[in-house]
Chain A
Amino acid sequence: MQLTLEEIQSTVDKIMVEEFEVDPERLRPDAQLVADLDLDSLDGVDLVVALEKTFSCRIPEQEARGIRTLGDIYARVEAGLHGAPEPS
């Protein structure tokens, strides 16, 4: 799947709004998923499932645990799709 970073961001943002009812105004790359966007630990599982399904990729548990912000999601999806070095 060839998507630009902007397309990835808008798709992820759409998931956040539609699946997790996050206010679009709060969607900033530095937004913390738990502290700022009110996702809980089970939402985290749902998020991983939604990302894997949408982008046809697999996010291993260890990487999923490292995702803290919306920006981390953009970077992880982009790395997974474009084969760039994965975020530490």
Chain B
Amino acid sequence: MSETPRDWILVTGGSRGIGRAIVEAIATPQRHLVLTYLRGREAAEQLVDTLRAADCSAEALGFDVGDSSECAQATEQLRTRLGAPYGIVNNAGVHRDGLMVWMKPDDWRDVLRTNLDSFFYVTQPFLKGMLANRRGRIINITSTAGQVGNAGQVNYAASKAGLIGATRALAKEVAPRGITVNAVAPGFVDTDMTADLPADRLKSMIPAGRFGQAREVAAVVSFLLTEGAGYVTGQVIGVNGGLA
């Protein structure tokens, strides 16, 4: 006997950093969460255990969001089992920083593949179902680098700017069916990704005088997922301490 479909939300790269904070912020007993990971299997499974202990419904799924065939397989099994999601948070991302003059083609491709191609590979298979449901939320985690650029991050900035363009265009396509598409653009946030940066020098450039916390990004994502945020679409919401 099949169960009544219930709302579920997909969060890519949900095992650590900002993705983990998003998962922690939006977990409730009322909806199911699917978080994806690539290398952080142990962290992902621990997080799922923690959520389940708090009566929240969650599962972890390991696949490479930048690989079209892995995504096709994963999204097909999710679609068969759970139907179309209420929300998709495209959060998974990598960086391979360095001046473009020294950048290897693989550094360019890997970053574009994981940060931008993944948006298409993960979101497209669910769109038809979401359109049929006439409601939904798509949130793309981009970056201040995608808004204003950042030396040493030409590949990363290009991928994140691409996500912003995709966000704005898809928002226009699906707005008539009650689906919102927004981007959240964190600045410098305390995560593994920023651990090696010269924090003191950077903080002097940030009006708020500090790095952000992952939970401060998660709070915005959490809001955008609510029914109350239904008239917010095609927007890029900066969470950057006034940096941009």
**B-binding residues in A (CB < 8 A):** 42, 45-46, 48-49
Instruction: Please report the C-alpha to C-alpha distance between residue A46 and residue B131 in the assembled complex, in whole angstroms.
Output: 7
Chain A residues lying within 8 Å of B129, measured Cβ to Cβ, are: 49
A43's nearest neighbour on chain B, judged by CB, is: B176
Across chains A and B, the number of contacting residue pairs, with CB separation under 8 Å, is 15
Binary A-proximity of B170-200 (CB < 8 A = 1, otherwise 0): 0001101100000000000000000000000
Q: Is the CB of B176 within 8 A of A42?
A: yes
Instruction: Please report the C-alpha to C-alpha distance between residue A42 and residue B177 in the assembled complex, in whole angstroms.
Output: 8
Q: At the interface, is chain B mostly helix, strand, loop or mixed? A: helix
Binary A-proximity of B120-131 (CB < 8 A = 1, otherwise 0): 000000001101
Instruction: Please report the C-alpha to C-alpha distance between residue A62 and residue B59 in the assembled complex, in whole angstroms.
Output: 34
CB distance from B43 to the nearest CB of A (A): 37
Q: At the interface, is chain A mostly helix, strand, loop or mixed? A: helix
Q: Is the CB of B132 within 8 A of A46?
A: yes
B176's nearest neighbour on chain A, judged by CB, is: A42
Instruction: Please report the C-alpha to C-alpha distance between residue A61 and residue B177 in the assembled complex, in whole angstroms.
Output: 19
A61's nearest neighbour on chain B, judged by CB, is: B128
Chain B residues lying within 8 Å of A45, measured Cβ to Cβ, are: 128, 131-132
A-B pairs with beta carbons under 8 Å apart, 15 shown: A42-B131, A42-B173, A42-B174, A42-B176, A42-B177, A45-B128, A45-B131, A45-B132, A46-B131, A46-B132, A48-B128, A49-B128, A49-B129, A49-B131, A49-B132
CB distance from A19 to the nearest CB of B (A): 11
CB distance from B173 to the nearest CB of A (A): 8
Instruction: Please report the C-alpha to C-alpha distance between residue A48 and residue B131 in the assembled complex, in whole angstroms.
Output: 11
CB distance from B118 to the nearest CB of A (A): 20
Chain B residues lying within 8 Å of A48, measured Cβ to Cβ, are: 128
Chain A residues lying within 8 Å of B173, measured Cβ to Cβ, are: 42
Residue among B132, B173, B174, B176 facing the most chain A CB atoms (10 A cut-off): B132
Q: A42-B131, A45-B132, A49-B129 are in contact. List 12 more A-B contacts (CB 8 A).
A: A42-B173, A42-B174, A42-B176, A42-B177, A45-B128, A45-B131, A46-B131, A46-B132, A48-B128, A49-B128, A49-B131, A49-B132
